[in-house]
Amino acid sequence: MKKFDYLIVGAGFSGAVSARQLAEKGKTVLLMDKRNHTGGNAHDCYDSRGLLIHPYGPHIFHTNSKKIFSYLSQFTNWRFYEHRVLANINDTYYPIPINRTTINQVFSSNLTEDMVDSFLESKRVKFNSIKNSEELVLSSVGQELCDLFFKHYTFKQWGLHLNELSASVASRIPTRTNDDDRYFTDSYQFMPADGYHTLFNNLLNHPNIEIFLDVDFFNIKKSLTYEKLIYTGPIDSFYNFQYGKLPYRSLSFEHEHLNSVNLLQSVGTVNYPSPDKQFTRITEFKHLTGQQISGSSVVKEYPKAEGDPYYPIPNPKNEELFKKYKTLSEGETGVYFVGRLAEYRYYNMDQVVGAALALCEKLE
């Protein structure tokens, strides 16, 4: 096998962006992934009925960075899409994140925008300092809304109670005093018009990039020759779990095609915060893609403890374990770690792209 300037392990956003950036600088790159496709968890494909689906759950692109949006625009056309989410509790639907409409529904009130903040202030629990997600939520919306929307959903999603998670988890979800029912408020909210698979095909279409799929780096690494390595997989796996395994939350997906309906839901995703349902949410892909086609395809998500790593679990104990692996990584020469799994960070897609761009600027 020929010698490459860079070996990149993992063909998701962090690996693929790194490959393209380095290839454009004249470097030869071997990009590999243990799955049989590029795109990582953002991969999408057409199901047997011709509907574009996300096998690993919904991936909604949003960013406030003009730089990142412009960069990806080289490789895809876009479809404007603002994601909306409802919470189904006892067959009543509430906008999520919590906004004025949600609050008026829950409390059977008729608050104006000017009244919402003072109403929430009467519900908030005061803390001298915020130590975890439970305290953050209670200090933001109070006990009733915490119990209704956060308490059980969080335990299903993470297998941990709110007070066992760092405040950073709950801080991802805002509370609004107006009627804005968009899940995100970023400046750029779009979906790749022809799918993520097309975006990744275009991103990786460069003569300096070779791609190996369906192959495990750890099984063949002794046969590979390269100058430098970019690793985007789980950092604990790279070091053979010598300090123990970093905890991740995994998911299983139940995909279903519905012949009898055009649209099952009024929005892209419906959350199920109540403890009587094992799944956390249902996503309907036609909302995301805008396809005009008969029938509909949906996916239910069931969080679980074992399986492919999806979400790093942020709490102080896990952060301390990660720091041990990070210290090892900082002692490496010619080996670089980037991405959600390699950095044990709950990154959005645009943040992963930004991290990869920053790494390549530093390297070359």
**Intra-chain end-to-end CA distance of the chain, in Å:** 25
**Tell me, what's the pLDDT at 333?**
96
Structure tokens at 115: 């009244």
* pTM for this prediction: 0.95
Q: Of 316, 360, 317, 364, nearest to 339 (Cα)?
A: 360
State yes or no: pLDDT of 2 exceeds 90.
no
The pLDDT tens digits for 239-284 are 999 999 999 999 999 999 999 899 999 999 999 999 999 999 999 9
**Tell me, what's the pLDDT at 127?**
95
Residue type (1 letter), 297: S
**Tell me, what's the pLDDT at 364?**
74
Parts of the chain belonging to CATH 3.40.50.720: 4-82+187-245+313-363
DSSP assignments along 38-101, one per residue: SSGGG--EE-TTS-EE-TTS---EEES-HHHHHHHTTT--EEE---BEEEEETTEEEEES--HH
Overall size of the chain counted in residues: 364
Residue 285 and residue 261: Cα distance in Å, rounded? 13
Residues of the chain with pLDDT > 70, as a percent, come to: 100
Residue type (1 letter), 231: Y
Q: Where are the alpha helices (DSSP H) in the chain?
A: 13-24, 66-72, 100-107, 113-123, 133-141, 143-145, 152-158, 167-170, 196-203, 217-220, 235-238, 285-289, 316-330, 349-363
**Tell me, what's the pLDDT at 310?**
95
295 to each of 53, 91, 191, 298, 362, how far by Cα in Å? Answer: 13, 23, 21, 10, 48
**Mean pLDDT, residues 288-317:** 95
Residue 56 and residue 42: Cα distance in Å, rounded? 7
Residue 158 and residue 8: Cα distance in Å, rounded? 30
3-state secondary structure of 108: coil
Residues of the chain with pLDDT > 90, as a percent, come to: 98
**Mean pLDDT, residues 294-316:** 95
**Mean pLDDT, residues 337-342:** 97
Structure tokens at 352: 């992963």
Mean pLDDT in the chain? 96
Structure tokens at 46: 């057409």
pLDDT category at 29 given cuts 50, 70, 90 is: very high
Query: How are strands ordered across the β-sheet holding 311-312?
Result: 92-96, 85-89, 269-271, 281-284, 296-304, 248-258, 311-312
Residue 107 and residue 110: Cα distance in Å, rounded? 9
CATH architecture of 4-82+187-245+313-363: 3-Layer(aba) Sandwich (3.40)
**Mean pLDDT, residues 50-65:** 98
Q: Determine what percent of the chain falls in helix, strand and coil, rounding each to the nearest 5.
A: 35, 20, 45
**Mean pLDDT, residues 287-293:** 95
